[in-house]
C-alpha cells in the first residue's frame, strides 16, 4: 500500500510518498523522470551501515553512478563545517545543475543535506528519504533546510522544496527506541492543532513498545500527518501565517533543549512538555476551557525524562525564550489553543502566566512515569 500527499507551493509541486518497501520503485521513477545517470547520496552513517543494500539496490539495477558522503550521527553535524564538507563532496565529484542529490537520514542529515543541495550551483534536484518517524511526519516535508549556529538552533538555512519525499517504513525497523517518542510528539502536535482523530490513531503506540506499532496503521498515520503538513505548507510556504501553528509547544521546547545542552532532553521530549505548558498558557491568557483534561495524557507513560526540575534555571529558560528566532518583537509570541484544533498566534506580555506554564513542565519532571 502506497500513500501520496501533494504539496503545491509557488516554487514547486511535489509528492510525499509513504509506504512499506516503496524505496526502490519510487527512487527509480523519480530518477527516470529526472533522466539521471549520476546521483550524489548524503547519508546518515548509521543508516548507511544498516541499510546500504536497500539504498543501493535500485541504483545498481538502473546502472546509475553514485557516490556517497556519510554524515556523522548527532546534532553536532548540523554545523557549518559539515555543510562545507557536503559542498566539497558535491563539487569535487563534478555535480551539475541537473544532478540529483538524495538525502537519506533523520532530521539532522535531512536539514544539512538539503541545505547543501539548495546552495550548490544555486540549487540542484533534491530527493528526501527520511528514515526516522520524526523526519517522515515533519522535518523532511516542507522545504526547511539548515544548520545550527553557536547562538542557536537552525539559525542558518533556506526554504528549498524537494523534488520528492520518499518515506519507506522499512527504515523504521532499526529505529532506536528513543526515536519513537521523538516522532510521536510531532504526531500528537497535529492532533492538538488540526485533527483530533490523530490522538486515537496514536493509540497504536500504547500497545506495548511504541516500535511494535501495527505497520499498516502506522503507514496510514504517517500519511495523515504528512497530508496535514502538505496542506499547511501549500498555503504558507514561508511561514508568514498558519505554518507557524506547526510550532505548537516549540517555544517552550527550544528553551528546554538549549538549557539541557541539546543532549539530555530530546526534541520530542521537549515538545511533549512544551505542548502541556502551551495548554496551561492558553487557559491563562485566552481563558480556554479544557476542563483540566489533555488528550496528551495517555502518552505520558512513554516518556522517560532524564532531567530533573532542580537542574533547570527559570531565569535562563525565560532568557532563551526571548532569543528564540521565531520571536518577531520584544514580546513573546506563542502558538496557543482557543480550543483543541483551534490554534492562534498570541503575543503574551503577562510573565506570571508564562511562569505558571513553566510550573506545569516542572510538575511533570517531578512525576515518576
Ligand atoms: N517543523 C515546522 C515546519 O516545518 O514549519
Atom of ligand 1 nearest to the CA of 232: 5
Ligand 1 binding pocket includes 78 (Cβ within 6 Å): no
Ligand 1 binding pocket includes 142 (Cβ within 6 Å): yes
Q: Quick one: 145 and 214 in the same domain?
A: yes
Return all residues near 223 (Cβ < 8 A) that are at least 6 apart.
3, 5, 18
Q: Quick one: 134 and 185 in the same domain?
A: yes
Of 235, 267, 292, the last residue of a domain is 235
Note whether residue 106 is domain-resident: yes
**Residue owning the nearest CA to atom 2 of ligand 1:** 246
Per the structure, how many domains does the chain have? 2
Return all residues near 238 (Cβ < 8 A) that are at least 6 apart.
159
- Per-residue model confidence as pLDDT tens for the chain (369 residues): 899 999 999 889 999 999 999 999 999 999 999 999 999 999 999 999 999 999 999 899 999 999 999 999 999 999 999 999 999 999 999 999 999 999 999 999 999 999 999 999 999 999 999 999 999 999 999 999 999 998 888 999 999 999 999 999 999 999 999 999 999 999 999 999 999 999 999 999 999 899 999 999 999 999 999 999 999 999 999 999 999 999 999 999 999 999 998 889 999 999 999 999 999 999 999 999 998 789 999 999 999 999 999 999 999 999 999 876 555 556 799 999 999 999 999 999 999 999 999 999 999 998 765
Note whether residue 101 is domain-resident: yes
Q: Quick one: 84 and 211 in the same domain?
A: yes
Note whether residue 74 is domain-resident: yes
Q: Quick one: 296 and 188 in the same domain?
A: no
Q: Quick one: 172 and 260 in the same domain?
A: no
Please give the Cα distance from 366 to 182 (Å, whole number): 20
Q: Quick one: 147 and 254 in the same domain?
A: no
Given a contact cutoff of 8 angstroms between Cβ atoms, the answer to whether 98 and 124 are in contact is yes
Closest listed residue to residue 167, CA positions, set 183, 150, 151:
183
Q: Quick one: 25 and 107 in the same domain?
A: yes
User: Can you read off the three cell numbers belonging to residue 203?
Assistant: 493509540
What's 54's domain CATH number? Answer: 3.40.50.1970
Ligand 1 binding pocket includes 201 (Cβ within 6 Å): no
Q: Quick one: 361 and 259 in the same domain?
A: yes
Q: Quick one: 266 and 315 in the same domain?
A: yes
Atom of ligand 1 nearest to the CA of 138: 1
Of 176, 203, 235, the last residue of a domain is 235
Tens of pLDDT along 175-198?
999 999 999 999 999 999 999 999
Please give the Cα distance from 101 to 328 (Å, whole number): 34
pTM (predicted TM-score)? 0.96
User: Can you read off the three cell numbers belonging to residue 284?
Assistant: 491563562
Cα-to-centroid distance, 175 and ligand 1 (Å): 22
Ligand 1 binding pocket includes 246 (Cβ within 6 Å): yes
Note whether residue 144 is domain-resident: yes
Note whether residue 307 is domain-resident: yes
Catalytic residue among 46, 144, 153, 189: 144
Please give the Cα distance from 205 to 126 (Å, whole number): 32
Catalytic residue among 186, 237, 259, 283: 186
**Residue 364 designated active-site:** no
Please give the Cα distance from 242 to 357 (Å, whole number): 23
Note whether residue 338 is domain-resident: yes
Q: Quick one: 226 and 277 in the same domain?
A: no
Strand partners, 128: 103, 165
Return all residues near 310 (Cβ < 8 A) that are at least 6 apart.
none
**Domain range for residue 164?**
2-235
Cα-to-centroid distance, 235 and ligand 1 (Å): 13
Note whether residue 243 is domain-resident: no
Please give the Cα distance from 316 to 302 (Å, whole number): 28
What's 260's domain CATH number? Answer: 1.20.1090.10
Q: Quick one: 41 and 69 in the same domain?
A: yes
Of 213, 235, 257, the last residue of a domain is 235
Q: Quick one: 179 and 253 in the same domain?
A: no
Note whether residue 242 is domain-resident: no
Amino acid at each position: 500500500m502506497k500513500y501520496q500527499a501533494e504539496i503545491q507551493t509557488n516554487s514547486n509541486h511535489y509528492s510525499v510518498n509513504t509506504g512499506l518497501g516503496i524505496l526502490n520503485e519510487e527512487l527509480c521513477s523519480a530518477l527516470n523522470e529526472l533522466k539521471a545517470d549520476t546521483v550524489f547520496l548524503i547519508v546518515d552513517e548509521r543508516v548507511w551501515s544498516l541499510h546500504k543494500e536497500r539504498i543501493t539496490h535500485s541504483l545498481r539495477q538502473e546502472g546509475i553512478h553514485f557516490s556517497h558522503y556519510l554524515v556523522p550521527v548527532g546534532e553536532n553535524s548540523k554545523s557549518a563545517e559539515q555543510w562545507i564538507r557536503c559542498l566539497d563532496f558535491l563539487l569535487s565529484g563534478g555535480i551539475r545543475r541537473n544532478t540529483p542529490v538524495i538525502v537519506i537520514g533523520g532530521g539532522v542529515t535531512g536539514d544539512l543535506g538539503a541545505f547543501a543541495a539548495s546552495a550548490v550551483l544555486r540549487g540542484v534536484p533534491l530527493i528526501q528519504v527520511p528514515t526516522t518517524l520524526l523526519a517522515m511526519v515533519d522535518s523532511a516535508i516542507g522545504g526547511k533546510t539548515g544548520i545550527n549556529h553557536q547562538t542557536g538552533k537552525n539559525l542558518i538555512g533556506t526554504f528549498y522544496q524537494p523534488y520528492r519525499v520518499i518515506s519507506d517504513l522499512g527504515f523504521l525497523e532499526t529505529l532506536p527506541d528513543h526515536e519513537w517518542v521523538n516522532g510521536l510528539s510531532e504526531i500528537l502536535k497535529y492532533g492538538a492543532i488540526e485533527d483530533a482523530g490523530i490522538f486515537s490513531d496514536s493509540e497504536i503506540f500504547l500497545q506495548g513498545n511504541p516500535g511494535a506499532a501495527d505497520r499498516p496503521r502506522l503507514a496510514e498515520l504517517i500519511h495523515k500527518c504528512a497530508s496535514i503538513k502538505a496542506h499547511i505548507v501549500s498555503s504558507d510556504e514561508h511561514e508568514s501565517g498558519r505554518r507557524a501553528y506547526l510550532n505548537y509547544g516549540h517555544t517552550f521546547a527550544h528553551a528546554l533543549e538549549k538549557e539541557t545542552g541539546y543532549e539530555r532532553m530530546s526534541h520530542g521530549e521537549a515538545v511533549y512538555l512544551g505542548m502541556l505548558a502551551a495548554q496551561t498558557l492558553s487557559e491563562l491568557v485566552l481563558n480556554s476551557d479544557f476542563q483540566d483534561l489533555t488528550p496528551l495524557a495517555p502518552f505520558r507513560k512513554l516518556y522517560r525524562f532524564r532531567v530533573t526540575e532542580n537542574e533547570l534555571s527559570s531565569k535562563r529558560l525565560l532568557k532563551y525564550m526571548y532569543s528564540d528566532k521565531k520571536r518577531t518583537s520584544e514580546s513573546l509570541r506563542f502558538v496557543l489553543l482557543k480550543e483543541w484544533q483551534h490554534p492562534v498566534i498570541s503575543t503574551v506580555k503577562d510573565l506570571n502566566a508564562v511562569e505558571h506554564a513553566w510550573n506545569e513542565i516542572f510538575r511533570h519532571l517531578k512525576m515518576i512515569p
